[in-house]
């Protein structure tokens, strides 16, 4: 158990931005909103999974929508609590702990916004060990925990509470509401008991994000190689160092979708890497060959600074290095691959192991 103050969130948001594999929302926006909430309401307690009582009511807090939208349509900062209260009213009981649904730039921070305002503790972990674009892509789904009941709230004060027959229906109905509400909303869902967290969460990912963010910052300050330092910490493999040569992007169906092409520089001169994304990076082809696929993490970092580059931050000429990072092993089970493997997203390939 420890207290999180605004200054802790700089490193955590940076690291979560890297683990977000291009998605999970913009780390800068999320950090500012969470820091503002903590300054106003006081520090947030973070607890380890094993510190949570077995009968605790743990609620995942997140933002849903296209990161391209949330960058310009900044959340009001009240939607998280509105969603939480609507869910609690439905449940007939109050949440005892909050948890991130994913460790991504914005979505690692959203639970802190709600936690500061409600004085609830945040659990150190998340339901993916990375970021994914769709609501049903969560490890709790593999142990029978449903996304619904799911509350969705917008910046205007509209809320809805969903009960569904499947997690795919939760995604479909929340997504269409999200689009109609302006493509950037807050969600409270995936209610777990404390004794389900060991199986339902990837543990200690908030601490990992903070360590990662600190490592990058310190390597940069020491004039070292922040990207190499990040790769060492994560056990990641370098896929390409180059510059962004082309980006095709569209916001459709409530997602930011597209492709980017990187041309190699230095040791990678003459090579190219093509990234395909739906909010998050899903597939990397190097010189036409698939070298990394979802559910492994495909992380794009600024080559000089080691800062995370989100899919919506990709722009022509940017110098970046792409890392492949192994996902939580539960994602490589048949159930995990069915939820978030490359075939779910329409790519005609099995999961490809990262070459070390």
For the window 308-327, what string marks contact with a second copy as x by the rule CB under 8 A?
A: --------------------
State which residue, 177 or 320, has the beta carbon closest to a second copy. Answer: 177
Q: Which of 34, 168, 104 is nearest to 312 (CA)?
A: 104
Burial 220-236, CB ≥16 within 10 A → b, else e: beeeebbbebbbebbeb
Segment interacting with a second copy, rule: CB under 8 A, options 10-18, 172-180, 266-274, 283-291 = 172-180
What is the rounded CA–CA span in Å between residue 180 and residue 34? Answer: 26
Length of the chain: 356
Structure-token match 């990375």, residue found: 130
**Minimum distance of a second copy from residue 71's CB (angstroms):** 24
Segment interacting with a second copy, rule: CB under 8 A, options 72-80, 128-136, 165-173, 210-218 = 165-173
156 binds a second copy (CB under 8 A): yes
Enumerate residues 6+ apart whose C-beta is below 8 A from 153.
Answer: 79, 80, 82, 83, 86, 159, 185, 186, 187, 188
180 binds a second copy (CB under 8 A): yes
Enumerate residues 6+ apart whose C-beta is below 8 A from 68.
Answer: 249, 251, 256, 312
250 binds a second copy (CB under 8 A): no
What's the burial of 82, exposed, middle or buried (CB within 10 Å: 0-12/13-18/19+)?
buried
Segment interacting with a second copy, rule: CB under 8 A, options 47-55, 159-167, 250-258, 317-325 = 159-167
Residue 350's alpha-carbon distances to 214, 222, 291, 293, 315, in angstroms, are: 35, 41, 11, 8, 29
What is the rounded CA–CA span in Å between residue 79 and residue 47? Answer: 24
Do strands 150-153 and 57-65 pair parallel, antiparallel, or not at all (unpaired)? unpaired
86 binds a second copy (CB under 8 A): yes
Structure tokens that stand for 312 in this block: 């919506």
93 binds a second copy (CB under 8 A): no
State which residue, 176 or 349, has the beta carbon closest to a second copy. Answer: 176
State which residue, 177 or 339, has the beta carbon closest to a second copy. Answer: 177
Structure tokens that stand for 303 in this block: 């080559």
190 binds a second copy (CB under 8 A): no
From the list 5, 89, 93, 250, which residue makes contact with a second copy (rule: CB under 8 A)?
89
Segment interacting with a second copy, rule: CB under 8 A, options 104-112, 130-138, 160-168, 204-212 = 160-168
161 binds a second copy (CB under 8 A): yes
135 binds a second copy (CB under 8 A): no
From the list 61, 106, 181, 183, which residue makes contact with a second copy (rule: CB under 8 A)?
181
From the list 90, 344, 345, 347, which residue makes contact with a second copy (rule: CB under 8 A)?
90
167 binds a second copy (CB under 8 A): no
188 binds a second copy (CB under 8 A): no
- Of 275-294, binders to a second copy (CB under 8 A) are none
Element (H, E) at 34: helix 27-41
State which residue, 150 or 314, has the beta carbon closest to a second copy. Answer: 150
218 binds a second copy (CB under 8 A): no
Please state the separation of Cα 236 from the chain's center in Å.
18
**Minimum distance of a second copy from residue 146's CB (angstroms):** 12
Please state the separation of Cα 61 from the chain's center in Å.
12
87 binds a second copy (CB under 8 A): no
Size of the site for a second copy (CB under 8 A): 21
User: Facing residues of 237 across strands?
Assistant: 324
State which residue, 172 or 261, has the beta carbon closest to a second copy. Answer: 172
186 binds a second copy (CB under 8 A): no
On whether the CB atoms of residues 94 and 20 are closer than 8 A, the answer is no
Where do contacts with a second copy occur on this chain (CB under 8 A)? 86, 89-90, 156-165, 169, 172-173, 176-177, 179-181
């Amino acid at each position: 158990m420890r207290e999180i103050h605004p200054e802790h969130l700089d490193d955590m948001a940076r690291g979560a931005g890297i683990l977000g594999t291009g998605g999970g929302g913009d780390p800068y926006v999320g950090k500012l909103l969470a820091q503002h909430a903590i300054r106003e309401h006081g520090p947030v307690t973070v607890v380890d999974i094993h510190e949570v009582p077995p009968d605790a009511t743990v609620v995942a807090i997140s933002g849903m929508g296209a990161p391209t939208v949330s960058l310009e349509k900044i959340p009001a900062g009240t939607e998280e609590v509105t969603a939480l209260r609507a869910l609690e009213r439905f449940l007939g009981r109050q949440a005892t702990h909050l948890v991130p649904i994913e460790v991504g730039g914005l979505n690692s921070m959203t639970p802190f916004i709600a936690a500061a305002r409600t004085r609830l503790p945040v659990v150190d972990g998340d339901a993916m060990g990375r970021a994914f674009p769709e609501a049903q892509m969560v490890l709790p789904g593999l142990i029978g925990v449903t996304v619904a009941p799911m509350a969705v709230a917008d910046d205007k004060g509209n809320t809805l509470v969903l009960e569904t027959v499947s997690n795919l229906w939760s995604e479909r109905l929340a997504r269409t509401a999200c689009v109609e509400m302006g493509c950037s909303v807050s969600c409270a869902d995936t209610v777990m008991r404390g004794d389900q967290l060991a199986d339902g969460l990837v543990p200690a990912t908030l601490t990992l994000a903070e360590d990662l963010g600190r490592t990058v910052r310190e390597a940069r300050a020491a004039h070292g190689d922040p990207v190499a330092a990040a790769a060492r910490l994560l056990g990641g493999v370098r896929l390409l160092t180059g510059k962004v040569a082309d980006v095709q992007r569209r916001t459709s169906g409530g997602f930011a979708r597209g492709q980017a092409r990187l041309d190699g520089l230095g040791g990678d001169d003459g090579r190219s890497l093509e990234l395909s994304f739906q909010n998050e990076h899903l597939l990397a082809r190097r010189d036409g060959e698939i070298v990394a696929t979802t559910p492994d993490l495909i992380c794009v970092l600024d080559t000089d600074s080691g800062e995370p580059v989100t899919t919506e931050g990709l722009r022509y000429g940017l110098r970046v290095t792409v890392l492949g990072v192994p996902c939580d092993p539960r994602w490589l089970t048949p159930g995990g691959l069915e939820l978030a493997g490359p075939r779910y997203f329409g790519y005609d390939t099995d999961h490809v192991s990262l070459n070390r």
